[in-house]
Structure 1
Amino acid sequence: MAQSVHFSTPVDTVVSRMRALDTALPERDGLAVFNRVYLTVTEEFDRQLDAGLFPDRRAAISLDVRFAERYLTVAEDGRAPACWRPLLQFRRHPGVRPLQFALSGINAHIGHDLALALVDTCRTLGCEPADLEDEFDRVGDLLVSLEERVREELMPGPDLFQIADPLTHLLGSWSLERAREATWAAARALWALRGLPDLAEEFADRLDSAVGLAGRMLLTPLPI
């Protein structure tokens, strides 16, 4: 039986950088929690890419790498937009649960970074957001399936019901599906505003602040 051949891509470089962060960061660090989640997503993306599940391979790689670079800039260089600052501020807080760290990172990355990465990719490839909708949806589907698994793995067990109860209420206020929908709308708006740079910058700043506010709420410390 013929074996599939893996050709190195920029996605492999992204995976290597995330693995290096996984080794370097303390296990209980809030950013490390998110990094493990994102590493799993990116490894799965890489497998699907090798399996030919992305019809437009070039567009899929371009979007994925630009998306990842926005997180890696935060993790490696510490240059953080407003949406990432709550996670960096609370990353070692003993009253914040691993699931909160994971979802706060997903919120920042999907709610803000993905919209800007989509616009960047459109500029690079000379296309419209609608031309990348399939790639956007496939990445989103990967994240939805992972979010379900993350909730199952990181949610406290029944013996911690007193802790899980407020956690359940807190995290029930955020939905990845709604965040995806808002991100798609934001990317289309930013693309429509590309000829008005001052207005586009203001819109992006407001998006960054709003996503940061949601991330701060997700990181509300709970009783230990």
Structure 2
Amino acid sequence: MAQPEQRVTPAVPAGHSVDGVAARMRALRASWPATDGVAVFNNVYLTVTEEVGQRIEGRQFPDPRGATTLDVVFAERYLAAVDAVAAGHRPPACWRPLFQYRHHPGVRPLQFALAGINAHIGHDLALAVTDACRLLGCEPAALEGDFHRVGAILERLEERIREDLMPGPDLLEIVDPLTHLIGSWSLERARDAAWSAARILWSLRELPALAEEFTAGMDANAGLVGRYLLTPLH
């Protein structure tokens, strides 16, 4: 019997606290085994969230309120997917592959990390931009600088992830297919597509039926890419 799908529309926590969402991710880290594929992504995302929080506190974002709002509503979409699964509901299509394959022995940690990033960037990011615009009463252009600053942090982190999670020489038999698999996905291209999608969604805000159709297509596409990234290698 199919599980009911829960529409994920996260509420912004009081105070728009980056520390609050980071604390939630730390609690999840403590509750999941390190081998859990969702835990692998959670650890990556926690690192990003902590770095963004430090930069906001260090006044490296010209608009701390805008950066904080975008960061929090973005994180809440991932946390809402976690909550949906915990409650027995289906998360958005973009997240389903990661949750379905989270314990698969043939999927490498690097695949889990990139599949989570793909889901979050390929679907959640555009929606987070429009969420933030509504909360702040601004146009997407007002958040473009913060969008790219966070994106730069993600790109630097992705490089470290690829280096740290690539299998060692004892697993050479899967290095070549893994390199081919992860080489087919680009964070930079996904981020550019997310910004374009955010602008389209904002332009459709008075046309909810079209916006919902566009969002559903974006969700399905991210889910398809996620399944590809999680192809078991042995």
Give 1:10-159 correspondences, 5 Å limit. Answer: 10-78=17-85, 79=89, 80-159=91-170
**Per the alignment, in what secondary structure is the counterpart of residue 73 of structure 1?**
helix
Which residue in 2 is equivalent to 1:208?
219
Instruction: Give the equivalent residue in structure 1 for 2:3.
Output: none
Query: What per-residue deviation string (whole Å, max 9, x for no partner) do you get for residues 56-75 of structure 1?
Result: 01100100000000001112
Q: Structure 1 residues 68-77 or 12-21, which shifts more?
A: 68-77
Q: What do residues 25-57 of structure 1 show as CA deviations (whole Å, max 9, x unaligned)?
A: 111000000000000000111111111001101
Cα distance in 1 between the residues matched to 2:135 and 2:42: 27
Instruction: Report the CA distance between 1:9 and its aligned residue.
Output: 6.1
Deviation (angstroms), 1:130: 0.8
For each residue in 1:113-170, what CA deviation from the matched residue of structure 2 results, as whole angstroms up to 9, or x when unmatched? 0100000111111111111000100111111111100000000123322110000001
State the TM-score, normalizing by the size of structure 1: 0.94
Structure 1: 4+ residue segments shifted above 3 A: none
Residue identity matched to 1:159: D
Residue identity opposite 2:43 in structure 1:
R
CA distance in 2, matches of 1:184, 1:103: 19
User: How many residues end up aligned between the 2 structures?
Assistant: 216
Q: Which amino acid aligns with 1:212?
A: G
Q: Which sections of structure 2, spanning at least 5 residues, go unmatched?
A: 1-14
Is the contact made by 2:16 and 2:69 (CA closer than 8 Å) also made in structure 1?
no
**1:173 corresponds to:** 184
TM-align CA RMSD: 1.1
Equivalents in 1 of 2:53, 2:135: separation in Å?
21
CA distance in 2, matches of 1:202, 1:219: 26
Determine if contact 2:16/2:72 at 8 Å carries over to the other structure: no
Q: What is the CA distance between 1:108 and its match in structure 2? A: 0.3
Contact 2:98 2:115 in 1 (8 A): yes
CA distance in 2, matches of 1:16, 1:131: 28
Amino acid in the other structure paired with 1:53 = Q
Secondary structure of 1:96's match?
coil
Q: Provide the C-alpha distance between the structure 1 equivalents of 2:54 and 2:213, rounded to a whole number of angstroms.
A: 38
Q: TM-score, normalised by structure 2?
A: 0.90
